[in-house]
Amino acid sequence: MLSGFDVVHAYDPADRAMIRSVMGQDIPVDTRLHRGRIPAFVVSEPYLFDGLEFGFDARSSRIASAVYLAQQARHDQTGQLTAVTETHLDEAPFFAYSTVWGGGAPWSVLTFQGDRIDSRRTLATKAAFGWDALYGTPYTAQLVDAVTPTADPLRGWPEGLYEADGTINGSVTANTNALVLAALAFKATGPLLRRAP
């Protein structure tokens, strides 16, 4: 859109969305299959980047809020800090989608091929910092406090903490560190891209 392309149809999800209730939140889910074989899934990252880079509009704000509030509600009901998104892993299979809803169920953790690996759910550093920058609630402050001790002054931020046992998911990626920096920049100056006055 910023480059002048007509994205009206791509930006309108109505023909490809179904609503799934997760922790009392209506979460829009893409009806198309991921990789042609498993139902699509919802993670935090697309909404984090949308808010941090462009700022939310009325629709994206409603969807992002539902995705965030479902995670907070999971914590409120279970006591488990929850900030899920796609995450690199420091062990096989080395990548997972920790979802709010995915593969037909809430809170599933899926491999690239669609296999369930819920034991690898990660409290994601990038989701903690991103949600905190966008919403700045007491809950998001708890998320950031939980991942802050994992920072390595030489290597940067690891992916986060494994939910199952609290150990560090020690994979270090440019993706996570870039989102942390984008979140810090947002807190300092607002969205990255703005329309010129």
Q: Which CATH number covers residue 51?
A: 1.50.10.140
**157 within domain boundaries:** yes
**40 within domain boundaries:** yes
Residue listed under structure tokens 């609503």: 19
Instruction: Give the tens place of pLDDT for each residue, 49-79.
Output: 999 999 999 989 999 999 999 999 999 999 9
**3 within domain boundaries:** no
**67 within domain boundaries:** yes
H or E stretch including 8?
Answer: helix 8-11
What is the spatial distance between Cα 121 and Cα 119, in angstroms, rounded to a whole number? Answer: 6
Per the structure, the complete domain to which residue 170 belongs is given by 8-187
Instruction: Give the tens place of pLDDT for each residue, 155-197.
Output: 999 999 999 999 999 999 999 999 999 999 999 999 988 765 5
**159 within domain boundaries:** yes
**Which pair of tokens denotes residue 84?**
């899920």
What is the spatial distance between Cα 168 and Cα 84, in angstroms, rounded to a whole number? Answer: 15
4: left (phi over 0), alpha (psi -120 to 50) or beta: left
Radius of gyration of the chain (CA): 16
Which one, of 81, 190, 100, lies nearest residue 142 by Cα? Answer: 81
What is the spatial distance between Cα 53 and Cα 50, in angstroms, rounded to a whole number? Answer: 5
* Structural domains counted in the chain: 1
**163 within domain boundaries:** yes
**55 within domain boundaries:** yes
